Structure 1
Amino acid sequence: MNINGALDTKTDCANGKLLNPFVHHLELDTTYEKIKTALLTIILLPIRVVVICCFLVAGWLVATAGLWGLSEEELMEKPLTGWRSHLKVLLAHLIRIIFIIGGFRLKIIGDLFKREVAPVIALAPHSSFVDSLAIVYMGGPSIVAKGETGNIPLFGKLINFTQPIYVFRDDPNSRHNTIKEIIKRATSKMDWPQILIFPEGTCTNRSCLITFKPGAFYPGVPVQPVCIRYPNKIDTVTWTWDGPGALKLLWLTLTRPYSYCEIEFLPVYTPNEEERRDPKLYANNVRKVMAKALGIPVSDYTYDDCKLLTKAKEMNLPHATSIVDLQKLRHSLGMASTSQEEALVECRTNLDLSKVSYNEFTSLLNIPSMEISTKLLYSIFNKDEYGHIDMREYLLSTLAINRTTSEAVNIAFKIYDQSGQGRLTLEDFKKAVHYTLALTEDTATEIFHQMDINKLGYVTFNSFILYAEGKPELENVLYRSKEEKFVRKHGQFCPSEDYGKKRD
């Protein structure tokens, strides 16, 4: 079965598992690896850190010298020339030495073409800050990066020296300005550096290629696709939404004797007329070429999906890592346009949803039991050895993710209300605020007892909202966004014209 043409690329048909490109698990499983890492942490890590810091400071000094006397406007108006361009080559060599000191062994496949042949380079899959190794090998092309990266201590100077194209995601006009700048540089007669872009827009675990953003393809000029691989026994470089933090990855990488990286330069892709007119088509076709070279599937995941995952994690929703799969599976089953889940929450009198079988699940939601999508949807929540799920977790994950935080809490109160009278006991209250506000059990217990001053044994949603008023630690999580705070203070929020553009 083809589920909207999407799940075929994210599902392992052999075992019926969903593929999540935003998750990376890293543990040292064997005693040997743990002992080796401990020894190298003592012996090798300090030496590498000291030498790397020395070269990093040297690189910063070179970048500072190269940027001396240049204003931000001048840096963006024309490419570096003369002695500044020579310093840029020196800087690339210094940073490459840092990777060598860090134990990286680089293998190059294919040839890098010059700007005259391919003004734009598309690098994928993007999975780590270590991908910058490819950037320094290419001599420091201009990258398209988040505006905040220019303010990172030490590294900001290094990035600025490549004359990057910054994207300011808080600026409603940033996307338009970024595309305009990419087109200007890619089609310019001046000797600008090649433009390097990570078309996925976020880091993944390299299990697939997610949707390419079309920004790099708007100019309609030839693009050189570049594939990057890390064929290591233990993957210490992948930095995803759900996985080890940057410091842990850096520590484990620098305590490996060697780390291997492969960069493959594919033939330049020259667009046809239809692709020049349609940047999304152009981006999609380049992605297919790269996926074939990498031997991995394509997927319809996007950067926006990663933002959805971030929100789910902040709220601590049940099975947050699968929230995107949940939404897509519901859509494939035609549930996005129904109110079946809402009706179930409102009319759940006498229904025990804590343990629901597969047949009960399909009956409650009125969905076909034989569909692959239905089975995959159920499997996300099926962690019970007897084959039952907690239907309340499903309903909360489904209904809360697209609501404001305070609305999500209200939904959680309804879902975990066993009395049917809007009253939550201590145990139910702890679950409701744990899965929406990420409150710990101890914190939730303390709040409950402070609210239940009359020892009634229950609290209500309204009493919780009243209790939260004037308590900054609760207000900050209950009203996370500026818009939610505006509504709370002034009533119904009416977006301005600028805000509407920002949301688009």
Structure 2
Amino acid sequence: MNGKKRCEKGTFSPDGMRAEILNPFVHKLELDNAYDKIRTAIFTVILLPFRVIVICYLIVTAWFLACVGLYGLSEDDLRKKPMTGWRRSLKPLICFIGKMSYLAGGMAISIRGRQASRREAPILVVAPHSSFLDSCIVYATRMSSVIVRKESMDNYVGKLINYTQPVYVWRDDPNSRQNTIKEIIERATSKEDWPQVLIFPEGTCTNRSCLITFKPGGFYPGVPVQPVTIRYPNAKDTVTWTWEGPGALKLLWLTLTQVHSSCEIEFLPVYYPNEEEKRNPKLFARNVRDVMAKALGVPVLDYTYDDCRLIAKAKQLGIPGGASIREVAELRAQLKLDVTNYEVDLIETGLQGSPRWLTLEQFALKMDVLITVPCSRLYKIFVQQPINMMYFPDYLLATLFILYQHEPLSLLIAYGFKIFDGSGMGRLDLTSFEELAARTLNLGPEDAHNLFRGADVEKKEYITYDEFVAYGMKKPELSFVFTRDGSQKVKVQ
């Protein structure tokens, strides 16, 4: 893929060309032929157990050495000054064992370029971040200090992470972001011989199709940084861990049953910020991202961690097209639909008698837009097989979710009553309510049925929105529907 493309509205890379919209949070991985399935089954039996045993042995050994090195040190000690003496001399051995654990799993780590010293670049900026296996960078950089949530340290590998003398993020601290930036600045500008600070500025995992927005936290110190890229040039991508795709255990299983995997780490030249970049961390972050994107040959995309949260919330609630919700927003913007919120007007004027299943031509006519590339892409997100047509209510719900993402979920459900009300009388029967509940509350038929019966006090075989609210307000498990954070699944008894 050519990295010099314009990928997002308002986002450019060097040659200013328009690029296809990407979804960096989706990764599809299936064993789609008999050969792969048979080979994986065989290696699961004869190769996987051996690799797991060796890896566990190596990890336990590294953990034991970390425990020895940390003996007598408190967390305050680790934050006050860098390790010295024999404790520091254990780091190369732990790094060697860590690399061997990857090799035992069939993954060879190759390194290109030269890691700068701390004096040259106090901060290492690593991207793209696409897998839990990216932790190999810690061993490749001689245990640089990572940024880590404090609550994630209460596990088996916490000792190994502590040995990097990490910068802690305290989720329960309302000033966590400011305190983290403050500590990064102190580390980066300290005259003491701290390890380099290692940062994944994207803040979440992507599928490596592009580089998303870099968080500016690591750029506030205004010091030189060294960009570091990670590639996995394998025939089958069994490492990418995104919001939409295989889980960690499946990826680990498929990776360990490959004959051979590889990871390439490249240290790029140190990036020295100019005076403007020192004053503007966001500009500094954008410019470093551009350099890394060019080296990787991928575009840049102004997606953020907030977009990930929005996608996760959409998927959790069962919103149609949830994994592509950010792309839906961008395509609507390209079609200028975000200017008028045309869909809301359609719902308010009434959908009774309108067909629910639409062809591309009917969709374009309905939305009063031309059949262009953005229109076709938007249509395809909501096409259902085997009839190869769009279910229009799905598109409307996804659009309303975007428009009212910061409002209580009850507002979306209120519009849903209008969308699925075929009678025009402001009420839904059981079948229509089940459709709505599946797409906004992620409820199965049984739970939706129970919710409907609870709200239908008079046994009329239909309910209105007001009746739904009256019932829902009395149920603690439905309280999230009426707050601004509608990201919780519901189980109705």
What's the TM-score, normalizing by structure 1?
Answer: 0.88
Deviation readout 1:23-44 (Å, 9 max, x if unpaired): 0011111211111111111111
Q: What is the CA distance between 1:424 and its match in structure 2?
A: 0.8
1:157 equivalent to 2:159? Answer yes
The residue aligned with 1:109 is: 112
* Aligned AA (1:61): F
State the alpha-carbon separation in 2 of the partners of residues 244 and 107 from structure 1.
26
Q: Secondary structure at the match of 1:40?
A: helix
1:31 equivalent to 2:34? Answer yes
Q: What is the CA distance between 1:481 and its match in structure 2?
A: 6.7
| Stretch moving more, 325-334 or 291-300 | 325-334
State the alpha-carbon separation in 1 of the partners of residues 460 and 287 from structure 2.
63
Q: Among 257, 261, 266, which residue is 2:268 paired with?
A: 266
* Aligned AA (1:373): P
Q: Among 9, 13, 37, which residue is 1:4 paired with?
A: 9
Q: Among 429, 432, 437, which residue is 1:425 paired with?
A: 429
Q: Taking structure 1 as reference, are residues 35 and 52 closer, same or farther at Cα in structure 2, changes over 3 Å only?
A: same
State the alpha-carbon separation in 2 of the partners of residues 66 and 463 from structure 1.
64
Q: Secondary structure at the match of 1:18?
A: coil
State the alpha-carbon separation in 2 of the partners of residues 111 and 17 from structure 1.
34
The residue aligned with 2:96 is: 93
* Aligned AA (2:71): W
Q: What is the CA distance between 1:170 and its match in structure 2?
A: 4.6
The residue aligned with 1:464 is: 468
* Aligned AA (1:77): K
Q: What is the CA distance between 1:79 and its match in structure 2?
A: 0.8
State the alpha-carbon separation in 2 of the partners of residues 8 and 316 from structure 1.
35
Q: Secondary structure at the match of 2:110?
A: strand
The residue aligned with 2:25 is: 22
Q: 5+ residue gaps in structure 2? A: 1-5, 489-493
Q: Secondary structure at the match of 2:90?
A: helix
Q: What is the CA distance between 1:3 and its match in structure 2?
A: 6.5
Q: Is the 8 A contact 1:326 1:377 kept in 2?
A: yes
Q: Is the 8 A contact 1:241 1:306 kept in 2?
A: yes
State the alpha-carbon separation in 2 of the partners of residues 477 and 39 from structure 1.
47
Q: Is the 8 A contact 1:12 1:18 kept in 2?
A: no
Q: Among 318, 321, 325, which residue is 2:320 paired with?
A: 318
Q: What is the CA distance between 1:102 and its match in structure 2?
A: 0.9
Q: Is the 8 A contact 1:369 1:375 kept in 2?
A: no
The residue aligned with 1:71 is: 74
Q: Is the 8 A contact 2:123 2:226 kept in 1?
A: yes
State the alpha-carbon separation in 2 of the partners of residues 7 and 399 from structure 1.
29
The residue aligned with 1:275 is: 277
Deviation readout 1:402-423 (Å, 9 max, x if unpaired): 1322332222222111112221
Q: Taking structure 1 as reference, are residues 17 and 352 closer, same or farther at Cα in structure 2, changes over 3 Å only?
A: farther
Q: Secondary structure at the match of 2:357?
A: coil
Deviation readout 1:438-471 (Å, 9 max, x if unpaired): 1112322343345446553312223333444555
* Aligned AA (1:96): K
Q: Taking structure 1 as reference, are residues 12 and 221 closer, same or farther at Cα in structure 2, changes over 3 Å only?
A: closer
Q: Secondary structure at the match of 1:260?
A: strand
State the alpha-carbon separation in 2 of the partners of residues 244 and 4 from structure 1.
30
Q: Taking structure 1 as reference, are residues 7 and 89 closer, same or farther at Cα in structure 2, changes over 3 Å only?
A: closer
State the alpha-carbon separation in 1 of the partners of residues 482 and 13 from structure 2.
38
Aligned Cα root-mean-square deviation (Å): 2.7
Q: 5+ residue gaps in structure 1? A: 486-504
Deviation readout 1:281-308 (Å, 9 max, x if unpaired): 1111111111111111111111111111
Number of aligned positions between the proteins = 479
Q: What is the CA distance between 1:169 and its match in structure 2?
A: 4.2
Q: Among 236, 240, 244, which residue is 1:242 paired with?
A: 244
Q: Is the 8 A contact 1:21 1:204 kept in 2?
A: yes
The residue aligned with 1:141 is: 144
* Aligned AA (1:98): S
The residue aligned with 1:496 is: none
Percent identity over paired residues: 50
The residue aligned with 1:435 is: 439
State the alpha-carbon separation in 2 of the partners of residues 370 and 235 from structure 1.
35
State the alpha-carbon separation in 1 of the partners of residues 30 and 479 from structure 2.
34
* Aligned AA (1:241): W
* Aligned AA (2:148): A
* Aligned AA (1:20): N
State the alpha-carbon separation in 2 of the partners of residues 450 and 207 from structure 1.
47
Q: Secondary structure at the match of 1:233?
A: coil
Q: Among 170, 193, 196, which residue is 1:194 paired with?
A: 196
| Stretch moving more, 446-455 or 430-439 | 446-455
Q: Is the 8 A contact 2:130 2:208 kept in 1?
A: yes
State the alpha-carbon separation in 2 of the partners of residues 365 and 272 from structure 1.
48
List aligned pairs for 1:324-335, cutoff 5 A: 324-335=326-337
Deviation readout 1:95-148 (Å, 9 max, x if unpaired): 222111111112211111111111111111100011111211111100123333
Deviation readout 1:142-162 (Å, 9 max, x if unpaired): 0123333222x2111211111
Q: Taking structure 1 as reference, are residues 90 and 29 closer, same or farther at Cα in structure 2, changes over 3 Å only?
A: same
* Aligned AA (2:399): T
* Aligned AA (1:250): L
1:379 equivalent to 2:383? Answer no
Q: What is the CA distance between 1:228 and its match in structure 2?
A: 0.7
Q: Taking structure 1 as reference, are residues 458 and 65 closer, same or farther at Cα in structure 2, changes over 3 Å only?
A: same
Q: Is the 8 A contact 2:8 2:21 kept in 1?
A: no
Deviation readout 1:260-290 (Å, 9 max, x if unpaired): 1111111111111221121111111111111
State the alpha-carbon separation in 2 of the partners of residues 121 and 407 from structure 1.
45
1:125 equivalent to 2:118? Answer no
* Aligned AA (1:442): E
Q: Taking structure 1 as reference, are residues 121 and 31 closer, same or farther at Cα in structure 2, changes over 3 Å only?
A: same
Deviation readout 1:315-356 (Å, 9 max, x if unpaired): 110011110011122234443343432222222153425123
State the alpha-carbon separation in 2 of the partners of residues 154 and 295 from structure 1.
37
State the alpha-carbon separation in 1 of the partners of residues 147 and 127 from structure 2.
14
Q: Secondary structure at the match of 1:123?
A: strand
State the alpha-carbon separation in 2 of the partners of residues 17 and 220 from structure 1.
34
Q: Is the 8 A contact 1:225 1:269 kept in 2?
A: yes
* Aligned AA (1:433): A
The residue aligned with 2:396 is: 395
1:209 equivalent to 2:211? Answer yes
The residue aligned with 1:51 is: 54
* Aligned AA (1:429): F
